[in-house]
Structure 1
């Protein structure tokens, strides 16, 4: 009997670790989205993201880049298309072996690999071309740090809104999709 208990212990530990993953809920004008974050494989990205959530930075921002069959990006602009001042960039964790699969959340960045700050995106398709390949200018990829666990239908709904050019940027929703509030449900 004792041997059986020892065999079950790793399963119980793995289960409790999985339950300990942080969960964030986004209340948007099109519905709620919940994401479970992987702080074991992307600790800096998760800590950075949770810092923005805790500070209320995302509240009242919009999804400013929507490309059907590709991504829904937000976390940096107000409904007036004013960019919010973000914190310092973080190191790119794209080599963490998490793939840009449909339903994952990842850090948006500029051409520079270590330039991610507040902006993130949801993959609305399998986008493995965005994954890490090598530490070269074209191979860095984009760091996945979690996945949508509820509300993928909302993400898909956002991905289908009408878009146009706004403040010189393409793919901006014609009617703003607002991220009304972001809260940490489980830490």
Structure 2
């Protein structure tokens, strides 16, 4: 069964969940965020960030993002989600993954990346979309 990642957008924060398209990891999988303002489709690049993509897809498959919110929204910069429920309770995560910056993936408009603390190898479930 394909996990659903539904995004029922509130003004702020936006509540969401996701669906994973059927493409295998090696074929640049797509994750669809269904929002009240229309879908957002994320195309992932496992050939450039394999650990990051596997991590993100596992959270999708586990239903981790169901019922979480975009808790950080900075107009003209980014939206961040994947870690908090609507009542701002932080969801438990798996161990952090290493930074894969060597892949040459810049933080450009409409790209997705894992959120981190000031420590480079600290990404877990939270992600952000550059807007």
1:84 — aligned with what? 91
Match of 2:118 among 86, 99, 111: 111
Larger radius of gyration, structure 1 or 2?
Answer: 1
What is the aligned length? Answer: 106
More helix by share: 1
Query: Please, which runs of 5 or more residues in structure 2 have no aligned partner?
Result: 1-25
Which has the bigger relative contact order, CA under 8 A and spacing at least 6? 1
Post-superposition CA distance 1:31-76 (Å, at most 9, x none): 3211110000000000000000000000110000000111100000
2:81 — aligned with what? 74
What's the C-alpha RMSD, in Å, of the aligned pairs?
A: 1.2
**Structure 2 Cα separation of the partners of residues 123 and 25 of structure 1:** 16
1:34 partnered with 2:41: yes
| TM-score computed with the length of structure 1 as normaliser | 0.55
2:14 — aligned with what? none
Which has the higher mean CA deviation after the structures are superposed, 67-76 or 29-38?
29-38
CA shift for structure 1 position 30: 3.3
Q: Which runs of 4+ in 1 moved over 4 A?
A: none
Query: Please, which runs of 5 or more residues in structure 1 have no aligned partner?
Result: 1-18, 125-187
